Structure 1
Amino acid sequence: MRSEELAEPGHPTGFAQVGSRYYPVFVAVFTALVIISNVTATKGVAFGPIITDGGFIVFPLTYVIGDVLSEVYGFKAARRAILLGFAMNALAALVFWITIYLPAADFYENQAHFENIVHAYTQLIVAGLAGFLVGQTINAWAVVAIKERTKEKHLWARLIGSTFAGQLGDTLVFCAIAANAIGINTFHDFVVYTALGWFYKTAIEVIMLPVTYRVIAAVKKREPTYEPMV
């Protein structure tokens, strides 16, 4: 029987309650990083033969926070943050489109540029939301599934295992939809873009593992409702 089924409703053993002061902060930062990464991803970036987009700067951090949410608060709490991030990105896209059709002031000379960005952003939003939902859901599920078997031990296995699976799902879905939006039109460039995206995001999370460990340990220590899984 799963550990959640043995615990009181809404407060499974091994996780903290979401009504704490820390959970809303993580969700707010998580949502902001997703929106920022989608805006910056509208620019294709090339470092010699290496092709990526501007979202590479902050997007991997969403998975670090996703790991913290899943490990400390559980799958349902992490899924709530994912859905909120989804909703806020959809709202951002809607507001951008409404802004396009607002009458421009006489002195405003960037209407065409703004439309180009919004068009690319919209396609990236679709790609990002699809990849985001797939990747973050896989990531959160993997963390919790491995935790049910390892309890409080082998945190590294939960974090790395979930990263490999979640980032693979996210990158494949995102790149398949987003490549055209940033001007990637050849199969070779698409393969490079996809492979680099997965490798980079995974590598960043592995490099960030000591930081993630410390954040998770600190939150578990300070969360009065956290109950270790035994």
Structure 2
Amino acid sequence: MGAPIANEVNASRSASSASHYVTVVAVFCGLLLISNVAAVKPIEIGSLIFDGGAILFPLTYVLGDVLAEVYGFRRAKRAIWIGFFLGAVASLCFFAVDSLPAPDWAAENAEAFSMALGFVPAIVLASLCGYLAGQLLNARVLVSMKRRSGENALWSRLLGSTLVGEFADTLIFCMIATAIGPFIWADFWNYFLVGYIFKCAVEVIMLPITYRVIAFMKAREPSYSSASA
């Protein structure tokens, strides 16, 4: 009787682990897609200019930290690639919808859709390239630091990986969006510095919550001890 019961407990734990991972990946991808849509609107507060995606996008780095810290680089990379392909599919879908003709009675709505979600190749390219480079660097740096420090100094891993990942993400996005997109070079440093500082500041503010989420996940993941690869 003991073996079947143990097997059931292990199966339950494995199912719980898979469920947590799938949930984190789903929320991670959802935040990414929402922030990509919000990014089409520039926001100006005083002399500061940034895109609407900056409001929500930093939270993807919080979840990226959770994925890398709890599940390791390989599973974090899988989630990052899933988000990348979903972002590409969303962009292609918007392009297809925008390209198809609308009935006369919906012409005004179609124009509004095109203005808000119309396919801008440079912005899509900048967003996807920045995201992919930034998230992969964020996960790689965090896991590399963890191999040296173990469970100690979590705060240094979270901040160090974010500083590197967000720098690459913001720089690549701004460079592409300015070089071949609608941004102008006069606003480059404004976009880059404001976006980078804002995103890193959100990570710092979210540190207490990130700590609690990571502790919660570690305590409930049977596979955690082997998730450092």
Q: Residue deviations 1:165-197, cap 9 Å, x none? A: 00000000011123479853242x210110011
Q: Which of 18, 21, 26 is the equivalent residue of 2:19?
A: 21
The equivalent of 1:70 in structure 2 is: 68
**Counterpart in the other structure of 2:145:** 146
Q: Could you tell me whether the CA contact under 8 Å between 1:93 and 1:122 is conserved in 2?
A: no
Larger Rg: 1 or 2? Answer: 2
Partner of 2:125: 126
State the partner residue of 1:117: 116
Pairs within 5 Å for 1:59-208: 59-108=57-106, 109-119=108-118, 122-179=121-178, 183-187=182-186, 189-208=187-206
3-state SS of the aligned residue for 2:122? Answer: helix
Q: CA RMSD in A?
A: 2.2
Amino acid at match of 2:20: Y
Task: Considering fraction of residues, name the structure with more helix.
Answer: 2
Shift in Å at residue 17 of structure 1? 10
- Residue matched to 1:38: 36
Question: Alpha-carbon deviation of 1:113?
Answer: 2.9
1:58 maps to: 56
Which runs of at least 4 in structure 1 moved beyond 4 Å after TM superposition? Answer: 16-19, 179-183
Corresponding residue SS for 2:104: coil
CA positional deviation for 1:20:
1.6
Cα–Cα, structure 1 residues 191 and 17, in superposed 2: closer, same or farther, change >3 Å?
farther
Given that 1:17 and 1:225 are in contact with CA atoms closer than 8 Å, whether structure 2 keeps it comes out as no
Q: Relative to structure 2, which stretch is displaced further, 110-119 or 74-83?
A: 110-119
Number of residue-to-residue matches in the alignment? 213
Q: Secondary structure at the match of 1:45?
A: strand
Distance 1:195 1:18, change over 3 A: farther
Gaps of 5+ in 2: 1-13
Identity %: 47
* Gaps in structure 1 of 5+ consecutive residues: 1-15
- Per the normalisation by structure 1, the TM-score is 0.86
- 1:18–1:73 Cα contact (<8 Å) kept: no
TM-score (norm 2): 0.86
1:122 Cα shift? Answer: 4.2
Contact 2:95 2:119 in 1 (8 A): no
